[in-house]
Amino acid sequence: MNVVFLGANNPQICKTLQDIRISSNEFNVLGFIDNDISKHHHDFFGYKVLGGFEIVNSLIEKNVHFVNLITRNTVLRYETSLFLSQKKALFTNCVHPEVNLKMVQMGVGNTIEENVVLQANVSIGNNCAINTGTVIAHECVIGNTVFFAPRACLAGKVLVNDGAFLGTNCTVLPRIKIGCWATVGAGAVVTKDVPDYAVVAGNPAGIIKYNETKYQSGDTL
């Protein structure tokens, strides 16, 4: 499978790719695309930046698969993946080879870094990004275009809806619902349901504001 990555910013992905290449020969990385023209045709930690969105059509014609690495916010991640999807681009998952995917259901377009724990009967949608050290306990349901910062922790049977952003070292107690496009701040301890578009912070977490209501679904397919 020939794969191109969107967003030449975080060198951690290159470390993950080195581990994948050691464990499998089925993942052929052609390079990166990035709309920052100053990066074009330069080396990015051993991989070439091929260009920007102007070359997407030619890559799609060659049945290249895409992985979106943009995690600045879930709205931008959604919009860039939707742009590719509307052009009929193919997506694949990029999962660190040490992550145990037994009894896990997952869509496409997801990235999962090293030291992530996914317990039994976890379900993950499309276009999610799960950063290193995250723990998602048994029977959690993760929607589409959800981002987990490092060491986010979900207890059992948590529901995380589309577009949610979970900050570093946050903790979500069992059976909690995180609303669509909600934001959980770094270090927050979530003890009750978070409404759609709400931004919560603190211990226990409380609502401090609401995100702009721009989208409902976060599914890009």
Catalytic residues: 138
Do the strands 104-106 and 122-124 form a parallel or antiparallel pair, or are they unpaired?
A: parallel
Residue type, 101: L
CA–CA dist 147, 199 (Å, integer): 14
Q: The tokens of 203 are what?
A: 């211990």
Inter-CA distances, 187 with 12, 53, 101, 120, 156, Å = 22, 36, 27, 25, 18
